Each structure stands twice: as structure tokens, then as C-alpha cells.
Chains A and B, each alone.
Chain A
Amino acid sequence: MKKNWPLWEVFVRSKNGLEHRHFGSLHAADAEMALENARDVYTRRNEGVSIWVVESKHITASNPEHNGEMFEPAQDKVYRHPTFYKVPDEVKHM
């Protein structure tokens, strides 16, 4: 049975106000079953308030072989981080 079921990626929002995060994947025959399976597999311990499922084939992933050109150029651009500002003492929670 399972070998015919496509793979789905599961995203769970653990609290209202937080974003959905990738929790893992599972097999299911369709979206509705994927949602129910996700509920049972990933939210049994009260992990979530909302679930998204998307069939894995719809995700376009970057190729690890291209990591050099994709990501390494960003490594030495420290000035893109806002770390060169002096934060006034009156500003809290930064």
C-alpha cells in the first residue's frame, strides 16, 4: 500500500504568532490523509496549532553541487549585517 503513496512535507505552527516550521515528511494518498497523518505523527505531544502539508514533488530545491556559487559569496560580506550601529542606551530589547 505504502509504496504507492506519494511523499508529503509537513509544516507545523507551534504557537499563534509564530511561523510554520518544517517538521518532517510522511506518506499519504492525498492531501486530506496527509493532514490527518501529520496530526497523528507530528502533533501528538501538543506541538501545534496549525498544520500545512505540501506534496514533496512541488518543492524546488537548490542543488548542493552549486553551493559554491549560491552561498559562498555571502560569507565575506559582513557589512550586510546591521552590526555597525551604536544602539542608544534608551533603546531596550534589541
Chain B
Amino acid sequence: MNKNLYNYILGVADNSLILGQRLGELCGHGPSLETDIALTNISLDLLGQVRGYYQYAAKILGGNASEDTIAFIRKERDYKNVLLVEQPNTDFAYVIARQFLFDVYHVLFLDQLQHSRDLTLSAIAKKSLKEALYHKRFSSDWIKRLGDGTDESHSRIQNAMNDLWVFTNELFQLTEADKEMLNEGIGVDVTQLKADYYNQLNDVLNEATIEIPEVKFFQKGGKEGVHTEHMGYILAEMQYMQRAYPNMEW
């Protein structure tokens, strides 16, 4: 089995799984019916993408592996998502800031992944790109509305941005699997996306009258399986059914 390809797929897919799970927590709790549906739509888009990736990963793994075992039966250290996506839904501003910081990256990433030499990954990327473009449109709009809205909304989105900015740099770090897949023309060189990413952030934040946070030390670790304290709680809820009733199906 191609361990590097397997790890690479998880590195891509786990971001969408954990962000999708976080957004799913908001189902029925959105600030209005319209935003509630919008956020859960985004969650479902992400989970749909995840299924494509995990089905492919399960094929590589072979044996009894399935998209479900990959999603639900791994230990915390085996999840390779970035720290950004596991941050909590503190308030609507945090939800939007987290979404925006991920969406801008996600679009840049998928735009490159669609040219992968791996045809399955390329096909998933092409399909996902349209979804991610809409997510970015939605979250960018809200960044501007909150930033350029009331004093209250401005201070909340500024606050969320200040707190979450430390997690952005990790998006552009290369893992071992990333390097191997890059050499084979399968993976994306995320280091090349960084300048464009921060330029886009600057443009939107300027328009939203949000100050660019100054950060000296960035957080990292998620890609290597070293997560923040929030991750265990996410997995406890997400994996509950499979842990309590192993091999349960419906």
C-alpha cells in the first residue's frame, strides 16, 4: 500500500471532516433560520467531499477499511487536520472568521489539486472547488458585514480574527507525505499558496475595516496529529456511536 498517498489524502480530508463536524454542531442553533441553513449546507458540502477522499483512502488501505472506519475508528493522534478547523464555535464571529480563514486557503488549494496527476484526487478537487468558491463568497461577505457593521459586531470579529490568526501559518507547512506526493506530481506545494493567501486576507480585512493581527509565534501540530484540547471533545461526540456500538449500521 502507498502509505504516503494514504497519509496525504487524510491530511486533505481531515480538515473538511473536522470543520464539517464543527459546523454540524450549529445545526438548529444558527443566529437565524437563513444563516443556520447556510452553515449546515457548508457542513454537508464538506462532508460530501470527505466521503470521496475516504472512499479512495479505504481502497488504498484495503481489507475491511471503509470510509466509516477511517472517519470514526481512528485515535486523536491519527487525525491530520490543521488546528484552525478544530477551534470552537465561540460565537458567530468566530464561526465566520474560522470559515473565512479556511475557505481562502481551501479555494487556492483545490485550484491546484485539480491539476494533480492522481485522477481521483483531481476529480474530487474539481467537484469541490465550486462548493468552496461559494463558501468563500459567503464567509467573505460576512467578514465585511461584521467588520463594517456595528461597534459590537466589529469588536467581536476583530477579537475572533486576533485569536484565530495564530493558526493560519500551519496551512502552509509541508509534511513528509506532502513532500513525497509533491515529488510525484500528485500533491500541491502549499508553500506556494502562502503569499496569495495573505494578500487575499489583507484585501478583505481592509475592506471590512478589520486590523491585521500581529502574531510573532504561530501555532502548529495538527498536521502531525498533535491537537489542541478541543479535539478530544470533538472526537468523543463524533465517534460516540461507533465506540458505544461497534460496527453499528443504519
Contact = CB atoms under 8 A, between A and B. Distances in A.
A73 B35 CA distance: 46
Interface string B130-156: 000010011001000100000000000
A13 B141 CA distance: 25
B31 to A, nearest CB: 6
B190 interface: no
Interface stretch (A34-42, A56-64, A82-90): A34-42
Contacts, number: 33
B138 A36 contact: yes
A2 B141 contact: no
Interface residues of B, number: 13
Give the dominant DSSP class at B's interface: helix
B37 interface: yes
B32 A33 contact: no
B132 to A, nearest CB: 15
A4 to B, nearest CB: 10
Interface of B: 31-35, 37-38, 41, 134, 137-138, 141, 145
Interface of A: 1-2, 5, 26-29, 32-33, 36-37, 39-41, 44
Please list the 7 inter-chain residue pairs (A to B) with the smallest Cβ-Cβ separation, ordered nearest first. A37-B34, A40-B38, A2-B32, A40-B37, A40-B41, A41-B37, A26-B34
